[in-house]
Chains A and B, each alone.
Chain A
Amino acid sequence: MNDAGGLLLTILLSSLLPGIAIFFLAEHRRRLRIGLNLTGAVTKLVLVGVLLLGVLRGDEYRFSLPLMPGIDLVLAADSLSLLFATLSAVLWLVTTVYAIGYLEHSPRRSRFFGFFSLCVSATVGIALSGNLITFLIFYEILTLATWPLVVHRGTPAALRAGRLYLGYTLTSGLVLFTAIVWLTLLAGAEGFTPGGYLESLAETHAVTLQVLFVLLMVGFGVKAALVPLHSWLPIAMVAPAPVSALLHAVAVVKAGAFGIVRVVNDVYGAELALELGLTTGLLVVAAITILYGSIQALRAQDLKQRLAFSTVSQVAYIVLGVALAGPLGVIGGLVHLVHQGLTKITLFFCAGNFAETLGIHKVREMDGVGRRMPWTMLAFTMGALGMIGLPPLAGFVTKWHLGLGALQVDALWVLWVLVLSGLLNAAYFLPPIIRGWLGERREPWPEPMREQIGPTRFETHWMLLVPTLLVAALSILTGLLAAVGLSPLGWVAVIVQRDYIIPGLDT
């Protein structure tokens, strides 16, 4: 069992140690830095793969370290944590390559990649956390490690965004901290248990549990950008594109959503949450967030702003699925964790490519870009269509299951929300696509990248293009091959089957 726990620790250290080494690296040691980065990312991916196989075999992994009397730091691997860990490991590798290409010529790369690695370590830590306190620890480390990335450019706007980001996340962190201490005081430092571990308290402490649930949701809701706690997210767009991609697709926003999933499923348990009437509120908040985010996205003219509000809306699907508290809904929510990640990172990479290569920031500047950068535009189109939920792309799979889930628990109004948001999605994603392919540009492109580094062999730097196409392909494949056993959907179904023995599940 010790060796098995060691694997978890190694996964954590595989990004942490290179990160620390990078901090102390001189700025000009470019090759060494890239080597460390890629070694870390690849090692992590391989190790997560090993872990995945192990868990599939039915091995148990657990690492614990006494922190305080009665309270341990616990790392554990269950199917749910692997879902998130795998997603992070894959996307980290891709984003690292992209970030190396993106930041090629900017200063302070050692600092950037140091915190970048720290950030991913924290994310994987969150994925592998075995109890709420461990979760909290990595969650707060993630907050701190992301801040330097947000303010990386050092402009007044970046610093303002950083302050806002810290203000929101630290405050919510304290709420979360208080709630977790309180919960631990009541129920002990239990590990995450499928179906929850609080039933014994339901009789005596019903009100307390309700209050705590609200506090926990506020704590996680800020990072998950649930309305009205979302304001930091669009403003944090000033960060470099790989950071935005990381914030939106992998680390921060997902950490919040993942926390909500953990609390509903593994701390309270869907049954208890239903019994205490907690899911209805969450469902309403998620629905409002979905619609509000879409409407704001429609109004935003800046491409990254539009994507940011789209994130607000899309992440709420995950929460929605969990709050439906029926097996099909949970499948829809969890699978969207992956689908949204892949799709959104594609879109952000594309937006980054447009901005870096041609200086495009606004939607209306996209006229005719499809001719100058066909590959990127293709990836963008696939991502956007996936978001809209066009069959058979990933977004459709999500929405299909969410819809079924809503029917399963007789929440018909949720269907309307889904339809409405699908229309809104189309309304804000179709214009850039139409402009890109069908629009025409008269004057020549500004070409800031060419001026900086000279002509490139492809439509843009290959380190920007390859990751973009890769994630686009992945996002298409997850949709197309959803029925295959090892697809995210298949894996989620396994999770739901194995961990949530809910009657009525027939897949």
Chain B
Amino acid sequence: MSGLVETLAPGLLYPTGGAILFALGLYGLIRRHHLVLRILALNIMGSGVFMVLLGIAARGEGPPDPVAQALTLTGIVVAVSATAFALALVVRLARLTGNAIILPGPPDDDAPVDDISRLEHHAHTEAPEHIEPTARSGERR
């Protein structure tokens, strides 16, 4: 019994849990399409990494490794920053396309890209531009 307890020390248990969370997040990232869910999946993967790191820090005797903990702290702040930016991008994308998923398939090569140096402000050109490609591709056919 004590052998089992020894084996299941936090220094081993938590890294294992972290690895499972990492794999789980990866699975979700592949499977789900909604961008918010994908961002959640990435966050869960990140938590998995932090759990491995803190689990490693807690291995062995003595106090936990402060460097590992500091790295985790840094990692969490980086993760929240990236998440915030990603969410802002999702909102922007939804505003432009009405969707919060990236449509699968190859990118539309003929979609016009316009040139910011010609625009006074983004807002004025987005709507017509979004309509244009379908009209043109119809022509070609």
Task: Establish whether A and B are touching in the complex (CB under 8 Å).
Answer: no
